[in-house]
Amino acid sequence: MELVIKGRAYVCGDHVDTDQIIPGKYLVKDDMEFLGKHALEGLDPDFPEKVKEGLNIIVAGRNFGCGSSREQAPAALKGAGVKLVIAKSFARIFYRNSILGGLLNLVEADIVDKVDNGDELEVDLEKGVIKNLTKKEVYEFSRAYPKEFMEIVEAGGITAYNKKRKPPR
């Protein structure tokens, strides 16, 4: 498991809902790569291209992932190449679906206001440190991931995790 995540910040505001993350008209396929081509299209139609240019850590305000409980929302972000979402808070179902789908999330209200769009970040999940390389600042976070959660993310989601754990017959 990659315990240090590097990337540039894509900053968005409060209440980014799942229809903005992956508009309903794209739910005709359950393919992560297809969904990724349309990730955040409801908020920024150019987002998938921005991820390719290195903006692969989303930094958001409150209630990220609110709205419907569509499990495709975290899959779309993962399919686009998002490595991590840092937010002031997450909608409960989005957070749970992210864990099940293997997308890393950090709840860090104080840190979000210190990051600007395009800032280069280095997040050390093991040490609990976010380095803002652009501003030459270091922020600490205290919420460590449970071992089981890291195993689910490392496996690529709950389905892959369960297949990996399943004893041979």
Residue 168 is predicted with a pLDDT of 60
CA atoms of 67 and 65, how far apart (whole Å):
7
Residue 125 is predicted with a pLDDT of 86
Query: What pTM was estimated for this model as a whole?
Result: 0.90
Residue 52 burial (10 A CB sphere; 0-12, 13-18, 19+): exposed
Total domain count, the chain: 1
> Could you tell me which of 166, 33, 154, 31 has the C-alpha nearest to residue 102?
154
Q: Which domain holds residue 58?
A: 4-165
Q: What are phi and psi of 72, to 5 degrees?
A: -75, -20
What is the average pLDDT across 69-92?
94
- Which residue in this structure is represented by tokens 């709840």? 107
CB 23 within 8 A of CB 41: yes
What is the average pLDDT across 148-158?
82
What is the average pLDDT across 59-70?
94
What is the average pLDDT across 76-83?
95
Residue 129 burial (10 A CB sphere; 0-12, 13-18, 19+): middle
For residue 21, the domain's CATH number is: 3.20.19.10
